[in-house]
């Protein structure tokens, strides 16, 4: 009688690359989108500094304004704005349709969920801008 | 147009290899061939030891999922000519253990799908006189999420599935969601206990690739985010209105 | 079945979710004006006086508190996930959670302290 040995499965378990997000353009887009969070934190801290400077007096606020004029800070702010705009656009295209689907309980075109958010965004931007510019 | 194309196929023989390697095959480039046809040509004429799964060859059984140039696809639905002049890299679905060549071990996935109780759960013993009537609107509520063919392309596409093998994954969550939305089901609470865990919905970071690669338009990412909304609502309810055993 | 088995992540996710909207609606204009337009002279800076008066309004302070709190909590959650998944620090999950959410709490407390203390 032939000697049979028990089957010992030896599957190959691949390891995920540490740079997996570079393998696909969609993964890289995801990584960039998530990186916007660092710039959100950055400008929140800048705003805290601005509030502190405002409370401390005109000279301190002038220092803050000078800091904002530094070329490095300007570049950082421009990059931050780009990332936060990326966040806003991807957010409005992804999140509202989930809430809409939850409420309506049936498939609807994504634009119905996204478009009102863009409109609110423009409205909010306008109103806050008018307050900041001292029109109100 | 050239009349042949090179396929670089990942080979792994468990009794012999410790790591996979690539083997090149030259196959005819026919206008009406899918990648699956090229693979069956290799098996029939070039190398009978090439091992891969396939069945219906029409995109409904979910057997033939593989990585084609790094993207998870159903080989029966992927036109070979799209990759001309080639070469085309064909590999087993990533984020799964590889049994041999292009065949993956799916036991883990099967266990995850079963874990979410993918059946109608009733808390009473209601027995309808005929079938359980549903309006078209009630069907529309969950229909999209019932289209899953268990091809596991979404698991291959999801980076979290690769980073955390405990993540129950897009298909399992979409299936649980399909039953939650079914008007005949009363299993929401039971499934929340299982799915509202770290290795359930909360591991998902909305990469969205699962919905991109799904061949049936299930949109598991939508199901997962909806599930997060449901779980959050239930969390607030249990926090603000604590109730005893129900 | 007990619901105590369920994760407590919903509260964090909720703050992250609402924060995502707050950040998207309101943060861009702040950067556009205070971060770029005023320093580059593309728009007239209202100056210290008007801005200071604006800050005195309790509604402004409430708005700034809500904006900053949600900025910190939204960013904290996303930063934690980015560091854990994209920069491969999953094994440091507890440390990351402590640093990120702790940082958000520190930032929010700083905001409350600065905005609630009447100058």
Q: Name all domains of chain B by residue range, CATH numbers in brackets.
A: 4-104 (3.10.20.30), 107-240 (1.10.1060.10)
- What distance in Å separates residue A93's CA from the closest CA in chain B? 12
In a domain, C4, yes or no: no
B82-115 pLDDT per residue, tens: 999 989 999 999 999 999 999 999 999 999 999 9
Q: Which domain covers residue C72, as residue numbers?
A: 10-116
Residue in B137, B206, B226 closest to A101 by CB: B226
> Alpha-carbon distance B41 to B48, whole Å?
10
State whether A12 and B17 contact (CB < 8 Å).
yes
What is the rounded distance in angstroms from the CA atom of residue B204 to the CA atom of residue A21?
16
The count of domains in chain C is 1
HSE (CB half, 13 Å, CA atoms) of C76? Answer: 27
Q: Residue C78 is part of a domain; what is its CATH number?
A: 1.20.1300.10
Q: What is the pLDDT of residues B4-43, one digit of tens each?
A: 999 999 999 998 899 999 999 999 999 999 999 999 999 9
In degrees and rounded to multiples of 5, residue C8 shows phi and psi of -95, 10
Distance CA A47, CA A77 (A): 12
Smallest CA–CA distance, residue B245 to chain C, in Å, is 7
Q: What does the alpha-carbon distance between residue B199 and residue B112 come to, in Å, rounded to a whole number? A: 11
C83 domain-assigned: yes
CA distance B137 to chain A (A): 8
If DSSP codes are grouped into helix, strand and coil, which group holds residue B90? strand
C99 within domain boundaries: yes
Asked if B86 contacts B9 with a C-beta cutoff of 8 angstroms, the reply is: no
Residue B183: phi and psi, rounded to 5, are -65, -20
Contacts of residue A72, defined as CB under 8 A and 6 or more positions apart, other chains included, come to none
Query: B159 to chain A: which residues are within 8 Å by CB?
Result: 16, 20-21, 27
Convert the pLDDT of each residue in A18-35 to its tens digit: 999 999 999 999 999 999
Cα–Cα distance measured from residue B37 to residue C99, given in angstroms and rounded to the nearest whole number: 53
Mean pLDDT value of segment C2-25: 87
pLDDT tens profile B121-136? 999 888 888 888 999 9
Cα three-residue angle B95-B11-B61, rounded to 5 degrees? 60
In a domain, C44, yes or no: yes
Cβ contacts (< 8 Å) between A21 and chain B: which residues? Answer: 159
CB atoms under 10 Å from CB of A109, counted, come to: 10
Cβ-based contacts of C43 with chain A (< 8 Å): 133
Q: For the domain A20-132, what is the CATH code?
A: 1.20.1300.10
Q: Report whether pLDDT(C118) > 70.
A: no
**Three-state SS annotation for chain C:** CCHHHCCCHHHHHHHHHHHHHHHHHHHHHHHHHHHHHCCCCCCCCCHHHHHHHHHHCHHHHHHHHHHHHHHHHHHHHHHHHHHHHHCCCHHHHHHHHHHHHHHHHHHHHHHHHHHHCCC
Give the global pTM: 0.93
What sign does the dihedral B236-B242-B246-C6 (CA atoms) show?
positive
Residue contact C5–B231, C-beta within 8 A: no
Asked if the Cβ–Cβ distance from A12 to B14 is below 8 Å, we say yes
Contact A87 C20 (CB under 8 A): yes
First to last CA, chain C: 53
Q: Is residue C5 part of a domain?
A: no
**Every domain of chain A and the residues it spans:** 20-132
Indicate whether C85 belongs to any domain: yes
A62, A74 Cβ separation under 8 angstroms: no
Q: Per the domain annotation, does C109 fall within a domain?
A: yes
- CA distance linking residue B240 with residue A72, whole number of Å: 48
Q: Which of B160, B196, B205 sits opposite C7 (nearest CB)?
A: B196
């Amino acid at each position: 009688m032939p000697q049979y040995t028990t089957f010992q499965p030896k599957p190959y378990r691949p390891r995920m690359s540490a740079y997996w997000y570079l393998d696909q353009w969609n993964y890289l887009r995801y990584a960039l989108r998530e990186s916007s969070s660092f710039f959100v934190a950055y400008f929140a801290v800048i705003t805290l500094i601005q509030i502190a400077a405002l409370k401390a007096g005109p000279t301190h606020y002038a220092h803050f304004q000078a800091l904002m004029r530094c070329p490095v800070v300007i570049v950082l702010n421009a990059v931050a704005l780009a990332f936060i705009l990326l966040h806003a656009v991807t957010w409005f295209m992804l999140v509202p349709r989930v809430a809409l689907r939850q409420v309506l309980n049936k498939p609807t075109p994504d634009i119905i969920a996204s478009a009102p958010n863009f409109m609110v965004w423009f409205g909010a931007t306008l109103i806050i801008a008018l307050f900041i510019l001292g029109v109100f | 147009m050239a009349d042949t194309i090179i396929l670089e196929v990942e080979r792994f023989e468990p009794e012999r290899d410790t790591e996979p390697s690539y083997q090149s095959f030259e196959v005819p480039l026919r206008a009406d061939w899918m990648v699956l046809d090229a693979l069956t040509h290799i098996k029939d004429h070039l190398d009978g030891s090439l091992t891969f799964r396939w069945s219906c060859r029409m995109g409904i059984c979910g057997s033939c999922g593989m990585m084609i140039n790094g993207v998870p696809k159903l080989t029966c639905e992927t036109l070979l000519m799209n990759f001309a002049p080639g070469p085309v890299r064909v590999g087993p679905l990533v984020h799964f253990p590889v049994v041999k060549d292009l065949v993956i071990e799916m036991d883990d996935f099967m266990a995850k799908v079963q874990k979410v109780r993918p059946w109608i759960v009733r808390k009473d013993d209601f027995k309808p006189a005929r079938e359980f009537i549903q309006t078209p609107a009630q069907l529309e509520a969950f229909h999209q999420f019932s289209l899953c063919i268990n091809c596991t392309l979404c698991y291959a596409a999801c980076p979290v599935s690769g980073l955390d093998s405990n993540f129950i994954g897009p298909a399992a969550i979409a299936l649980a969601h399909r039953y939650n939305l079914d008007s005949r089901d009363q299993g929401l609470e039971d499934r929340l206990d299982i799915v509202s865990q770290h290795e359930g919905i909360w591991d998902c970071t909305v990469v969205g690739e699962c919905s991109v690669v799904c061949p049936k338009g299930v949109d598991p990412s939508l199901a997962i985010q909806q599930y997060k909304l449901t779980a959050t609502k239930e969390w607030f309810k249990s926090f603000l209105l604590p109730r005893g055993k129900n | 079945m007990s619901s105590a088995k369920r994760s407590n992540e919903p509260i964090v996710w909720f703050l992250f979710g609402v924060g995502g909207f707050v950040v998207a609606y309101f943060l861009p204009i702040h950067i556009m004006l205070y971060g770029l337009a005023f320093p580059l002279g593309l728009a007239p800076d209202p100056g210290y006086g008007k801005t200071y008066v604006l800050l005195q309004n309790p509604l402004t302070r409430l708005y700034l508190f809500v904006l900053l709190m949600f900025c910190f909590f939204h960013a904290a959650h996303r930063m934690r996930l980015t560091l854990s998944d994209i920069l491969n620090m999953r094994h440091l999950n507890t440390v990351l959670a402590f640093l990120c959410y702790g940082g958000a709490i520190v930032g929010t407390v700083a905001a409350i302290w600065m905005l609630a203390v009447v100058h």
